[in-house]
Amino acid sequence: MNTATLKLAAAEKADSKSKAKAVWNYNNNTCFLLKMLLTAAGFIIAIVVNIFFPQKAAVEIKTYIVSIFAFDISLTMNDAYIFLLAALAVVYLVSGLSSWSDKDSRKKYSKNAAFRFALGIAFALWDIGGTKLQLFAQPFFPGPAQVAEAYLADGEYVLQNTLYSLRLYAAGFSCGVLLGVGTGILIGWFPKIYYWVFPVLKITGVVPAVAWMPFALTLLPTSFTAAVFLIVICAWFQIAFLTAQGIQSTPKQSYEAARILGSSSPDLIFHVAIPHAMPDIFTGITSANAMAFTTLVMSEMLGQPGGLGYYINQSKVWSAYYKVLAAIVIMAVLFSLINHIIGRIQKHTLRWQEGVVKK
């Protein structure tokens, strides 16, 4: 065998190898299609179970009249539940289709397929255990259809409370971020302010914000402003603390380089210290965000005329645990969404870090 044939054989071998590799992964259209079907299959199974599994336990299935665009539609809790499952299946199928031509999103989608399938199966099992057979202790562990019923029964009310929570969160957290970043910069930049303010911040910062509630409720004009105040201070301290740290850790050489290039003092703050502190500021914002959720729900439970926390409290009084769960589901979705948005902003702002910091 001469070298040419050897090379040829090697090339052929490599070729067949790469072909074998390409055959069965997310790059293959058939395989990806199967992954999409697998993703949807779990939810479809859950729908099938809901329709065909006999209702053994004595659960009253009420019919609700819901008016959508002036049409009155009568729905039972099972209809609502099936609708939600179908919506999930459709959303995932559409996202599969939209990632059809992008390699990275294909890979990600394929990776998630098994989990999403399992999610559908979990729904089916929960449905059987919670509603169909009622194997779990009632009324503490209602089935998924009963949770969906809460949205039918209280739809508008739940929406109102969600918006109330959102408004409270937005007002409190945005003020908290602004104040936190502002004071953090002042503390980090001016040694005098650091000397007088930082110890106060350090000591009061460890006190959970809700501890101030009695004062907030008596001293502030409305319960809304009281709750805003609590969220503000819980975000404020955390963010100010980390911002100050970020400003102070700016290397001396960066300031020197900037000064020689012609930066004035304000320029040093806005173009050197703050950009340098940005990663720390975002660490502060993310951790403050988690605390803000806690403070939000707690203050709603303890003294608000509305909000998801208030709704939970009110439902608990009537032992309507399915409503409690319904509110928890909304919180999970809403707070994840907020986290996701903050994460996106962070990723965009700190894009210069990509590849430096392992995430």
Partner 1 sequence: MSSSIKISDVERIYYDTDGRDVQALKSVDLDIKAGEFISLIGPSGCGKTTLLRLIAGLDKPQSGELSIDGRKITGVDPERGYVFQQGSLFPWLDIEHNIAYGLRARGQLKQKKARVGEYISMVGLDGFEKSYPHQISGGMAQRVAIARALINEPKALLLDEPMGALDSFTRADLQDKLLELWKEKNTTMILVTHDIDEAIYLSDRIVIMTPRPGKISKVIDVSLPRPRHRGGVEFLAMRKEILELFELAQAQPQPEYTI
Binding site for partner 1 (CB under 8 A): 251, 253-254, 256-264, 267, 271-272, 275-276, 278, 352-353, 355-356
Distance set, CA 322 to CA 97, 144, 154, 170 (Å) = 34, 9, 11, 27
Decide whether 107 or 271 has the Cβ nearer to partner 1: 271
Q: Which is nearer to partner 1, 19 or 358 (CB)?
A: 358
Task: Return the number of the residue (191 or 251) whose C-beta is nearest partner 1.
Answer: 251
Taking the least distance from each CB to partner 1, the nearer of 234 and 247 is 247
Q: How far is the CB of 5 from partner 1 (least distance, A)?
A: 41
Give burial (CB, 10 Å; 0-12/13-18/19+) of 208. Answer: middle
Q: Which is nearer to partner 1, 19 or 359 (CB)?
A: 359
- Report the candidate in 143, 158, 184, 162 with the shortest Cα–Cα distance to residue 283: 184
* CB 228 to partner 1: min, Å: 33
CB of 289 to partner 1, least distance (A): 23
Hey, what are 80's tokens? 């609502």
Q: Please, what is the minimum distance in Å from the beta carbon of residue 189 to partner 1?
A: 18
Q: Report the nearest approach of partner 1 to the CB of residue 348 (Å).
A: 13
Residue 151 has phi, psi (to 5 degrees) of: -70, -30
As a whole number of angstroms, the distance between CA 261 and CA 322 comes to 64
Eight-class DSSP state of 260: H
- CB nearer to partner 1: pick between 20 and 356: 356
The amino acid sitting at 181 is: V
From 292, 290, 303, 307, select the one nearest 162 (Cα to Cα): 307
Closest CA to 280 of 233, 236, 232, 248: 248
Helix 103-127 and helix 144-189: axis angle, to 10°? Answer: 130
Residue 105 C-beta: closest distance to partner 1, Å:
24
Report the residue count for the chain.
359
